[in-house]
Amino acid sequence: MSRYAQHISATSRHLIKDLRSARLRLLSGTDGEALHDLRVGIRRLRSTLLPLTSLPGMHATRRALKPLKKLADASNTVRDGEVQGALLREHPMPGGGQSLLNWQHGQQARYRHTRRKLNQRLERAPWKKWLKRLEKRLTEGLADCSKQDVNTQLTAAYQALLATLRGELADPGLFSDAEHWHHTRLNCKRLRYLLESHGERLAAGSQKQAKYAKAAQDSLGELRDWDVLGATLAADKVAVDPDWYAAEHAIRRRQADEDCTALAEVLAL
């Protein structure tokens, strides 16, 4: 195993250890950051390894990562419930009235239900088996990977992602459709984690690119949260002050536009 492959293996084992810790903290119900840490840990681990799974011998590692992706997807509803409650606490809607209070009580009940389901899944899931299998497949897959193999694969993944993001950020219709900027947000996230894991092998300005990718990811994420909140309120027929919502949404839209423009400039260098 090449020296850098050993480094990837050691980094991945550290991330797996963090995932085990986040799961236990989430199940204890005493750590408000545990869900976030679990989701970020899964993303970091997948972003570290997925670019390498096209190498010979690494296909089994891709299969071993699938249960973690499914778990992250299952946590989306719980995460959205937490965020929507926080948005309305931090930005109270004027004149919400009884309909808003009733909706909030209903949301709290749904959040508790989805949180229980997630906890049950975490308790039942064969975590030890999953993670041991992943560690084994990773060690086996990296055993025959040379430094050149690793560098070539990482560079190809980085260049492909860079080209995709440049095209998306240059699109004048980026914000015309939520699906457009939703994919851009995901690609910002992928670029950020790829650079944080492998940046020293990819670009001299990797830290700067990762910094701007995170800013765009965060502001696009906030815009998505307001979109989801608005859609949820509309679906549940909660009387929303349109001026309040439009003003709050516009703030996030402007920030996302600014951060995407800044990222496009950095990626063009």
Place of tokens 């910002």: 188
Place of tokens 């995901």: 186
Residue 4 has pLDDT above 80, yes or no: no
Residue pair 215/259 in contact by the 8 Å Cβ criterion: yes
pLDDT-based confidence at residue 250 (cuts at 50, 70, 90): very high
pLDDT-based confidence at residue 260 (cuts at 50, 70, 90): very high
Average pLDDT over residues 214-240: 92
Q: Return the structure tokens found at 201.
A: 């092998």
Nearest in space to 80 (alpha carbons), one of 235, 224, 265, 187: 224
Helix (H, G, I), strand (E, B) or coil at 53: coil
Residue pair 161/168 in contact by the 8 Å Cβ criterion: no
Task: Report pLDDT for 146.
Answer: 84
Q: How far apart are CA 116 and CA 113, in angstroms?
A: 5
Task: Report pLDDT for 185.
Answer: 96
Q: How far apart are CA 47 and CA 191, in angstroms?
A: 9
- What are the tens digits of pLDDT across the range 157-196? 999 999 999 999 999 999 998 888 999 999 999 999 999 9
pLDDT-based confidence at residue 148 (cuts at 50, 70, 90): confident
What amino acid occupies position 102? Answer: N
* More confident position, 128 or 243: 243
Residue 129 has pLDDT above 90, yes or no: no
pLDDT-based confidence at residue 147 (cuts at 50, 70, 90): confident
Domain-wise residue ranges, the chain: 1-144, 146-269
- What are the tens digits of pLDDT across the range 37-94? 999 999 889 988 999 998 888 999 999 998 888 888 889 989 998 899 889 889 988 8
CATH number of 146-269: 1.20.120
pLDDT-based confidence at residue 205 (cuts at 50, 70, 90): confident
Task: Report pLDDT for 70.
Answer: 86
Residue 204 has pLDDT above 90, yes or no: no
Residue 200 has pLDDT above 90, yes or no: no
Residue 201 has pLDDT above 90, yes or no: no
Residue pair 250/227 in contact by the 8 Å Cβ criterion: no
Average pLDDT over residues 106-113: 89
Average pLDDT over residues 10-39: 89
Residue 269 has pLDDT above 80, yes or no: no
